[in-house]
C-alpha cells in the first residue's frame, strides 16, 4: 500500500486471472447453460421473460450488421416504415465488442450471444474482485466479493435479460474515481471516462442507476478529507462522468427525436405498485426458498453476505472511513430507489422526482428492482472487508483462516441456491438449411416483408413475433412487425396490425401496399384455422413464390412505394385516419351496424385460453367509420362479452380488434377476433359488438353458448 494513499496496489494480471476463474465458475455453477453454446440458450421458467434473450440476440446482430455495412444504426429492420425503430428497444452498444468477434468469424448468433453472457458474468465477478483488491482486501476475500456480486439472485434471476446483467464496468469506474480523488492524473481521468461511458452504453435499463452510483460515490469521496483529498481530482472525476453522460446523450438522440415527434409510446413507470411496509426488509433478507415469508427473490441479497457485511462495516469504521462513507452512500441510494414510489402507502420523493424531472427516466429508466443490482456493490464490498477481517483474526493459524473462508464460500453458494437450482435450456432454431423460406428471402431482391398472422390467436403468441424477428437476421429485409419490448412500439404499428388482420381482403392489401411499399408476404398456415388457410390458395394482386412446408411466400404484383407513406408516419400528429377521414365520435345515427358470424367459435374451451371467431361487420349507417388511426378513443373496434346463464357479465374486451379499414356506408368486412376465455367453468354465452371509446353500439351478434372446462 502506498503511504500517501489509503488504497492498495492492484495488478492488471490479477484481473485477467480472475476473469478465467469466474468463467470456469459460471460454466460449472450454471450448468448446462454454457455447455450447449452453439444451439441452446438458458430458458427461464417464467414464459414472459423467455423472448428477452431472442430480442437481445437480434439487437446485437443488427448492431454488427449495421456497423459493418454502413447502414444507419437506428434504422433497424423492424416496424417498417417507422424511423429510428431501434430506439423502441435498447441498442446495447456497450456489449457489441463482446458479441462482434465471434459473430463476424462464425456467423453463429446463438454462440456469439452465449459468449457475450458468459463474458458479462465473468467480468462482473472479476471487476468486483479488482475493486476489493483496490480497497486493500486479500485475494481470497476479494474473490468472495466477486462471487457475491456476479452470482447474486438478482443477477441470476435475470440471466435471460442481458441488458440487466451488465454491471461489469461500474466497479472499474469506481477505482478511478478513488485514484483521481487522491492523486489526480489525466490518464486516470481518461480511463474513468471510458469505463463510465462503456457502462452507460451497456443498457438503458441500468444507465440511470449507474450514473447515480458514480455521482454519489464521487461526491461522498469528496467529503472524506481525512484520507487525502484533491479539489482538482474531484472536479476531474465529475468531468469524466460528464464525458460518459455526453456520449450517452449523443447516442440516444433518436429517443429524444421520437419523444418530440410523439412517436414514442411505452408503459408508464407511474403504474408501479408501492411495496407493503413489511417488504421494506423482507424482500432483501428472507431467502426465496423460505416460501411462507419470501418475496419474489429479485431483491434478495443473501444472509451470509449480510453477516459478513456487518463485520465489514465495523472493519471500515475502524480503519477505512472513506470506503465506509462512500459505500454507505451508495447503499442508501440504491436501497431507497429500489423501493420505488412508496412503502406502506407512503411516497418516496426521490424516485418520483426522477420520474418527473429526469429526461427519459419514465420511459427508459429502470424499474425500481434494477437498483438492487448495484446495491450488491456495497454489499459485496463490505462482505469482502468482513471476510478479510475474519482471515486476519485467524492470524498465524492459517488452517483456521483458510477453513473459515472455504466455509464462507460454500455458505454463499448454498444461500444463493446455485448448486440446486437446475437451469433449463431451449434450442434456438436459426439455420438457413432448416428455415428454407428465410433462406429464399435472403436471395430475393430488397423489399419489406409482412409475416402473417401478426397476432396469432394463442396464449403467449407474442413470442412468435420475436422468433420471426430473430429469423430476419438470415435475410435482413425490413419487417412491418416487431417485438414490443416493454410495450414500446410506434403508433403506426397498431394501424398496420389492424390492416394485416383483414388480409387477404383486396381493399386492405391495397392500403398496406400504398402505406408501406410492401413487397413480400409470408403466411404461416399453422397459425391459421383450416377454413382461413383456404383463402390463401390464390390471392388477387399477389404471386405465390413457393410453398415451404407449412409456410407460403407471396410477392405483390404492384411494388410501388405508394402514396400513403407520409400519411402513415404523420398519424401520431393528425386528427385524420390514413385515408384522410376525420376522427370524431359517432352520434346515434352513425352507430348502426349488422353483425353476423362468418365462422363460429368452438363450442368448448379451456379457462384462460383464446378462441377465434370471424365476425362479419356491416356498416348500415350514413357515415364512414374511422379505423386506421392510432387514436384508441376514435377508432372502431369489434369487441366481445362473456355472460353466465343468469346474464351476469363474466368477462370481455371493449377493444378486442380494430377494424382493418375505414368502413364506408353499406360496406362490410370479415374481422377475425381472438376472445380470451374467462377463468370460470360452466356454460357461458359469447357475443360480439361494435365499440368506440368503450361505448357499445346498440346492435350485437347472436349469443353463442360455449362450455368452459378447467
| pLDDT tens digits, 126-174 | 999 999 999 999 999 999 999 999 999 989 988 888 888 899 999 999 9
Here the cell at position 355 is: 420520474
Query: pTM for the full model?
Result: 0.93
What's the pLDDT at 394?
Answer: 65
What's the pLDDT at 321?
Answer: 81
User: Which pLDDT tens digit goes with each residue over 353-362?
Assistant: 777 776 666 6
Contact, 49 vs 43, CB < 8 A?
A: no
List all residues 6 or more positions away from 627 whose beta carbon is below 8 Å from its beta carbon. Answer: 498, 577, 635, 636, 658, 659, 660, 661, 662, 663
- The dihedral built from the CA positions of residue 82, 84, 87 and 93, taken in this order, carries a sign that is positive
What's the pLDDT at 378?
Answer: 97
- Listed by start position, the domains of the chain span 12-415, 436-573, 588-709
3-state secondary structure 673-695: EEEECCCCCEEEEEEEEEEECCE
What's the pLDDT at 576?
Answer: 95
What's the pLDDT at 285?
Answer: 87
Confidence of residue 1 (pLDDT cuts 50, 70, 90): very low
Contact, 613 vs 484, CB < 8 A?
A: no
Here the cell at position 490 is: 410506434
**Angle 286-290-294 from CA coordinates, rounded to 5°:** 50
For range 397-426, the mean pLDDT: 83
Q: Among the ranges 32-41, 228-237, 519-528, which has the highest mean pLDDT value?
A: 519-528
For range 212-238, the mean pLDDT: 81
Contact, 678 vs 651, CB < 8 A?
A: yes
Statement: residue 86 has pLDDT above 50? yes
- The lowest-confidence range among 4-13, 226-235, 343-352, 451-460 is 343-352
Domain boundaries 588-709, CATH class: mainly beta
Nearest to 609 by CA among 679, 549, 656, 528: 679
For range 368-388, the mean pLDDT: 92
What's the pLDDT at 462?
Answer: 62
Nearest to 532 by CA among 674, 424, 629: 674
What's the pLDDT at 369?
Answer: 76
Alpha helices in 158-203 (DSSP H): 170-182, 186-200
Strands 604-606 and 704-709: parallel
What's the pLDDT at 683?
Answer: 92
Report the DSSP beta bridge partners of residue 614.
599, 672
User: Which pLDDT tens digit goes with each residue over 532-555?
Assistant: 888 888 888 899 999 998 899 999
Q: What is the DSSP string of 240-303?
A: HHHHHHHHHHHHTHHHHHHHHTT------GGGPPPBPTTHHHHHHHS-TT-TTT---SSS---H
Statement: residue 706 has pLDDT above 60? yes
Higher pLDDT, 366 or 571: 571
Nearest to 114 by CA among 208, 204, 7, 34: 34
What's the pLDDT at 436?
Answer: 95
What's the pLDDT at 420?
Answer: 82
For range 368-392, the mean pLDDT: 90
Contact, 681 vs 607, CB < 8 A?
A: yes
User: Which pLDDT tens digit goes with each residue over 493-521?
Assistant: 999 999 999 999 999 999 999 999 999 99
Q: State how far the Cα of 89 lies from the Cα of 487, in Å rounded to an integer.
A: 10
Confidence of residue 48 (pLDDT cuts 50, 70, 90): low
What's the pLDDT at 274?
Answer: 59
Alpha helices in 537-676 (DSSP H): 565-569
What's the pLDDT at 338?
Answer: 83
User: Which pLDDT tens digit goes with each residue over 671-685?
Assistant: 999 999 999 889 999
How much of the chain, in percent, has pLDDT values that exceed 90?
57
Confidence of residue 608 (pLDDT cuts 50, 70, 90): confident
Query: Which whole-number Å values give the CA distances from 403 to 408, 420, 491, in the listed order?
Result: 9, 23, 61
Longest dimension (CA), the chain: 96
What's the pLDDT at 287?
Answer: 84
Statement: residue 105 has pLDDT above 90? yes
What's the pLDDT at 118?
Answer: 96
User: Which pLDDT tens digit goes with each residue over 644-655?
Assistant: 888 889 999 999
What's the pLDDT at 349?
Answer: 58
Q: State how far the Cα of 266 lies from the Cα of 24, in Å rounded to an integer.
A: 39
Mean pLDDT, all residues of the chain: 87
| Secondary-structure percent of the chain, ordered helix, strand, coil, rounded to 5 | 50, 15, 35
What's the pLDDT at 481?
Answer: 94
Contact, 657 vs 638, CB < 8 A?
A: yes
Q: State how far the Cα of 602 lies from the Cα of 705, in Å rounded to an integer.
A: 9
Confidence of residue 638 (pLDDT cuts 50, 70, 90): very high
Statement: residue 467 has pLDDT above 60? yes
Classify each residue of 287-299 as buried b or exposed e, where b means 16 or more C-beta atoms within 10 Å of its C-beta.
bbeeeeebbebbb
Q: How many CB atoms lie within 10 A of CB 216?
A: 17
What's the pLDDT at 675?
Answer: 92
Confidence of residue 294 (pLDDT cuts 50, 70, 90): very low
Here the cell at position 357 is: 424531472
Statement: residue 205 has pLDDT above 90? no
User: Which pLDDT tens digit goes with each residue over 161-177?
Assistant: 888 889 999 999 999 99
User: Which pLDDT tens digit goes with each residue over 400-410?
Assistant: 667 778 888 99
Statement: residue 2 has pLDDT above 50? no
Nearest to 92 by CA among 206, 241, 250: 206
- The lowest-confidence range among 19-23, 366-370, 597-601 is 366-370
Statement: residue 3 has pLDDT above 60? no
Statement: residue 199 has pLDDT above 90? yes
Residue with cell 465488442: 97
Amino acid at each position: 500500500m502506498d503511504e500517501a494513499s489509503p488504497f492498495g496496489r492492484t495488478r492488471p494480471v490479477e484481473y485477467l486471472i480472475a476473469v478465467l476463474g469466474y468463467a470456469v465458475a459460471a460454466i460449472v455453477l450454471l450448468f448446462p447453460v454454457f455447455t450447449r453454446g452453439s444451439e441452446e440458450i438458458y430458458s427461464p421458467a417464467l414464459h414472459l421473460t423467455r423472448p428477452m434473450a431472442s430480442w437481445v440476440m437480434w439487437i446485437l446482430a443488427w448492431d454488427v450488421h449495421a456497423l459493418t455495412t454502413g447502414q444507419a444504426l437506428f434504422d433497424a429492420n423492424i416496424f417498417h416504415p417507422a424511423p429510428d425503430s431501434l430506439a423502441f428497444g435498447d441498442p446495447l452498444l456497450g456489449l457489441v465488442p463482446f458479441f462482434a468477434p465471434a459473430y463476424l468469424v462464425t456467423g453463429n448468433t446463438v454462440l456469439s450471444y452465449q459468449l457475450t453472457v458468459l463474458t458479462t458474468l465473468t467480468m462482473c465477478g472479476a471487476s468486483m474482485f479488482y475493486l476489493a483488491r483496490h480497497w486493500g482486501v486479500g485475494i481470497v476475500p476479494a474473490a468472495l466479493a466477486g462471487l457475491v456480486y456476479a452470482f447474486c439472485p438478482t443477477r441470476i434471476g435475470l440471466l435471460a435479460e442481458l441488458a440487466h446483467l451488465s454491471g461489469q464496468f461500474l466497479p472499474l469506474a469506481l477505482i478511478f474515481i478513488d485514484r483521481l480523488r487522491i492523486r489526480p492524473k489525466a490518464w486516470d481521468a481518461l480511463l474513468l471516462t471510458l469505463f463510465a461511458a462503456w457502462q452507460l452504453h451497456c443498457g438503458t435499463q441500468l444507465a440511470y442507476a449507474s450514473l447515480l452510483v458514480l455521482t454519489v460515490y464521487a461526491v461522498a469521496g469528496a467529503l472524506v478529507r481525512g484520507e487525502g483529498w484533491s479539489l482538482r481530482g474531484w472536479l476531474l472525476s465529475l468531468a469524466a462522468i460528464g464525458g460518459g453522460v455526453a456520449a450517452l446523450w449523443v447516442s440516444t438522440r433518436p429517443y429524444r427525436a421520437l419523444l418530440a415527434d410523439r412517436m414514442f409510446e411505452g408503459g408508464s413507470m407511474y403504474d408501479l405498485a408501492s411495496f407493503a411496509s413489511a417488504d421494506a426488509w423482507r424482500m432483501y433478507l428472507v431467502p426465496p426458498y423460505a416460501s411462507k415469508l419470501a418475496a419474489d427473490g429479485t431483491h434478495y441479497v443473501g444472509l451470509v453476505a449480510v453477516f459478513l457485511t456487518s463485520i465489514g462495516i465495523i472493519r471500515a469504521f475502524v480503519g477505512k472511513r472513506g470506503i465506509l462513507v462512500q459505500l454507505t452512500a451508495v447503499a442508501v441510494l440504491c436501497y431507497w430507489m429500489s423501493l420505488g414510489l412508496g412503502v406502506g402507502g407512503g411516497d418516496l420523493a426521490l424516485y418520483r422526482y426522477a420520474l418527473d424531472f429526469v429526461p427519459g427516466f419514465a420511459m427508459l429508466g429502470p424499474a425500481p428492482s434494477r437498483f438492487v443490482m448495484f446495491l450488491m456493490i456495497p454489499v459485496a464490498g463490505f462482505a469482502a472487508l468482513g471476510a478479510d477481517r475474519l482471515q486476519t483474526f485467524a492470524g498465524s493459524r492459517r488452517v483456521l483462516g483458510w477453513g473459515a473462508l472455504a466455509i464462507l464460500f460454500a455458505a454463499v453458494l448454498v444461500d444463493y441456491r446455485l448448486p440446486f437450482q437446475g437451469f433449463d435450456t431451449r434450442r434456438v432454431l436459426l439455420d438457413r438449411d432448416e428455415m428454407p423460406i428465410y433462406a429464399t428471402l435472403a436471395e430475393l431482391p430488397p423489399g419489406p416483408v409482412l409475416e402473417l398472422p401478426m397476432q396469432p390467436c394463442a396464449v403467449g403468441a407474442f413470442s412468435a413475433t420475436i422468433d420471426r424477428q430473430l429469423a430476419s437476421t438470415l435475410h435482413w429485409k425490413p419487417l412491418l412487425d416487431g417485438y414490443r419490448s416493454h410495450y414500446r412500439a410506434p403508433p403506426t404499428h397498431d394501424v398496420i396490425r389492424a390492416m394485416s388482420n383483414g388480409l387477404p381482403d383486396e381493399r386492405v392489401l391495397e392500403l398496406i401496399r400504398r402505406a408501406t411499399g410492401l413487397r413480400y408476404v409470408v403466411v404461416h398456415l399453422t397459425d391459421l384455422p383450416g377454413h382461413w388457410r383456404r383463402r390463401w390458395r390464390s390471392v388477387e394482386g399477389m404471386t405465390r413464390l413457393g410453398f415451404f412446408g407449412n409456410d407460403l411466400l407471396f410477392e405483390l404484383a404492384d411494388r410501388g412505394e405508394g402514396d400513403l407513406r407520409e400519411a402513415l408516419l404523420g398519424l401520431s400528429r393528425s386528427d385524420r385516419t390514413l385515408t384522410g377521414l376525420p376522427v370524431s365520435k359517432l352520434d346515434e345515427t352513425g352507430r348502426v351496424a349488422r353483425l353476423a358470424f362468418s365462422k363460429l367459435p368452438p363450442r368448448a374451451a379451456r379457462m384462460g385460453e383464446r378462441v377465434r371467431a370471424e365476425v362479419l361487420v356491416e356498416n348500415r349507417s350514413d357515415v364512414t367509420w374511422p379505423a386506421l388511426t392510432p387514436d384508441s378513443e376514435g377508432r372502431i373496434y369489434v369487441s366481445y362479452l362473456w355472460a353466465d346463464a343468469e346474464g351476469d357479465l363474466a368477462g370481455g374486451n371493449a377493444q378486442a380488434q380494430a377494424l382493418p379499414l375505414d368502413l364506408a356506408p353499406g360496406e362490410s368486412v370479415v374481422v377475425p377476433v381472438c376472445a380470451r376465455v374467462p377463468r370460470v367453468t360452466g356454460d357461458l354465452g359469447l357475443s360480439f359488438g361494435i365499440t368506440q371509446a368503450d361505448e357499445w353500439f346498440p346492435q350485437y351478434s347472436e349469443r353463442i353458448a360455449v362450455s368452459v372446462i378447467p
